[in-house]
C-alpha cells in the first residue's frame, strides 16, 4: 500500500481499540470494523496493513477469541501494546446518578466496573462495544440510561461525564496484539526480551500436557500466558495458546521445539516480537505509546 498505513480495529471511534490504535500508529488511517473476524479479514483482503485487537485484561481476563481466530487465519502477531483503561459513566445532558436505571457497555467494561454498578443498584446491559454504547445513549436521549465508555467517546458523541474512573482497579490494563499478514521476526539479541506466541495441539495420551510443559521447564523458558480450548467438534484433546519469553533462533527454543514436535499433534508459531517495555516495569501503561 502507498501512503499512510491503514490500521484496522474492532469498534468505532472512541473505543479503547481506537485509542490503542491511535497510540501505536499515530500518523495512520484508522478504520473500524464491527467484529474481530471482520477486522482480521481486512488484512487478508489487503484492505489494511495491520490490525490491533484486545486480547486480555488485568481484571477481567480474556477479551477476544483470538485463540480460535488467529491459528487458522494465516496471519501473525507482530507486536503488543499495553493500555491503561479508564472507564467513565456517561449520559445525555440532564441525566445524573439519580436518574440512571440502566447502564450499557461491552461485557468486559461491565465486569471491570462491577463494584460501581452494584453500588448504584443499576441494571447492566451488554453492548457490542463501549463506544457503540455511548453512541446509542446519545441517539436515544433517555435520561434513565447511561453508558460506560472513554472520555474520548463522551466528547465524540456529545455526552456528559456523570462519574469519572469507575473501574474496579486503578491499574486496570488491557493488552492489545498487533496483527499483520507477514511474520516480522526481530533480530535475535539475548539482551532484548522477545515474546514467542504459539499454538500447540496435544496428543490424546496420558501426561501429554505434563511433558509439553516440561520441555519449557527443562530449557529454562518462562511462560507468561497459557490458555486452553477444545478443538471445535472434537473433545478428545485440547489446544493451548502460549506466550513465552524466548526467540525462535535461540538454542533453548530449538531444543524445546524438538521435544514439542514429538509430544504434540501440531505446533504453530503465531508470532515473534519484542516485548513491550511495560513487561519490565520500565513504563506505566499510560506511558507506552508504541510497541
Band (191; pLDDT cuts 50, 70, 90): confident
Q: Is 10 exposed, middle or buried (0-12, 13-18, 19+ CB in 10 A)?
A: buried
Task: Look at residue 4 in the predicted model and tell me its pLDDT.
Answer: 86
Q: Which CATH class is domain 88-163?
A: alpha beta
| CA separation for the pair 215, 200 (Å, rounded) | 13
Q: pLDDT per residue over 219-240, tens digit each? A: 999 999 998 876 555 666 688 9
User: Is the pLDDT confidence value at 283 over 80?
Assistant: no
Task: Look at residue 284 in the predicted model and tell me its pLDDT.
Answer: 63
Q: Which CATH class is domain 194-274?
A: alpha beta
Where are the chain's structural domains?
A: 6-84+172-184, 88-163, 194-274
Q: Give the 3-state secondary structure of 38-89.
A: HHHHHHHCCCCCEEEEEEEECCCEECCCHHHHCCCCCCEEEEEEEEECCCEE
For range 41-63, the mean pLDDT: 91
For range 118-138, the mean pLDDT: 96
Work out the mean pLDDT of the chain and round it to a whole number.
Answer: 91
Domain over 6-84+172-184 is classified CATH 3.40.190.10: yes
Model pTM above 0.85 = yes
6-84+172-184 and 88-163 have identical folds: yes
Q: pLDDT per residue over 53-104, tens digit each? A: 999 988 878 876 777 888 888 999 999 999 999 999 999 999 999 999 999 9
Residue with more model confidence, 161 or 265: 161
Task: Look at residue 85 in the predicted model and tell me its pLDDT.
Answer: 94
User: Is the pLDDT confidence value at 139 over 90?
Assistant: yes
| CA separation for the pair 85, 16 (Å, rounded) | 7
| CA separation for the pair 24, 70 (Å, rounded) | 21
Give the chain's end-to-end CA distance (angstroms, integer): 22
And the C-alpha cell for 130? 463501549
Please spell the DSSP secondary structure of 108-141, one letter per residue.
HHHHHTHHHHHHHTPEEEE-S-HHHHHHHHHHHT
Q: pLDDT per residue over 102-126, tens digit each? A: 999 999 999 999 999 999 999 999 9
Q: pLDDT per residue over 267-282, tens digit each? A: 999 999 999 988 877 6
Amino acid at each position: 500500500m502507498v501512503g499512510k498505513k491503514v490500521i484496522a480495529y474492532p469498534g468505532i471511534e472512541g473505543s479503547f481499540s481506537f485509542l490503542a490504535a491511535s497510540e501505536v500508529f499515530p500518523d495512520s488511517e484508522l478504520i473500524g470494523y464491527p467484529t474481530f473476524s471482520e477486522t482480521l479479514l481486512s488484512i487478508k483482503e489487503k484492505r489494511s496493513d495491520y490490525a490491533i485487537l484486545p486480547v486480555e485484561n488485568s481484571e477481567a481476563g480474556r477479551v477476544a477469541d483470538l485463540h480460535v481466530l488467529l491459528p487458522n487465519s494465516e496471519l501473525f502477531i507482530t507486536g503488543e501494546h499495553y493500555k491503561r483503561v479508564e472507564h467513565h459513566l456517561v449520559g445525555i445532558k440532564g441525566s445524573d446518578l439519580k436518574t440512571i436505571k440502566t447502564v450499557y457497555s461491552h461485557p468486559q467494561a461491565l465486569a471491570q466496573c462491577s463494584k460501581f454498578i452494584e453500588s448504584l443498584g443499576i441494571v447492566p446491559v451488554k453492548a457490542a462495544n463501549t463506544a457503540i454504547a455511548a453512541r446509542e445513549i446519545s441517539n436515544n436521549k433517555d435520561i434513565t440510561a447511561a453508558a460506560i465508555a472513554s472520555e474520548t467517546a463522551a466528547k465524540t458523541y456529545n455526552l456528559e461525564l456523570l462519574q469519572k474512573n469507575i473501574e474496579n482497579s486503578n491499574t486496570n490494563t488491557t493488552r492489545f496484539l498487533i496483527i499483520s499478514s507477514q511474520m516480522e521476526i526481530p533480530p535475535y539479541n539475548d539482551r532484548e526480551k522477545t515474546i514467542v506466541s504459539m499454538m500447540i495441539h496435544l496428543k490424546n495420551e496420558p501426561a501429554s500436557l505434563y511433558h509439553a510443559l516440561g520441555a519449557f521447564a527443562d530449557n529454562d523458558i518462562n511462560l507468561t500466558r497459557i490458555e486452553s480450548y477444545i478443538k471445535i467438534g472434537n473433545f478428545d484433546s485440547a489446544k493451548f495458546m502460549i506466550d513465552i519469553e524466548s526467540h525462535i533462533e535461540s538454542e533453548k527454543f530449538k531444543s524445546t521445539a524438538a521435544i514439542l514436535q514429538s509430544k504434540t499433534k501440531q505446533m504453530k508459531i503465531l508470532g515473534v516480537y519484542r516485548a513491550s517495555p511495560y513487561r519490565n516495569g520500565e513504563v506505566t501503561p499510560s506511558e507506552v505509546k508504541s510497541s
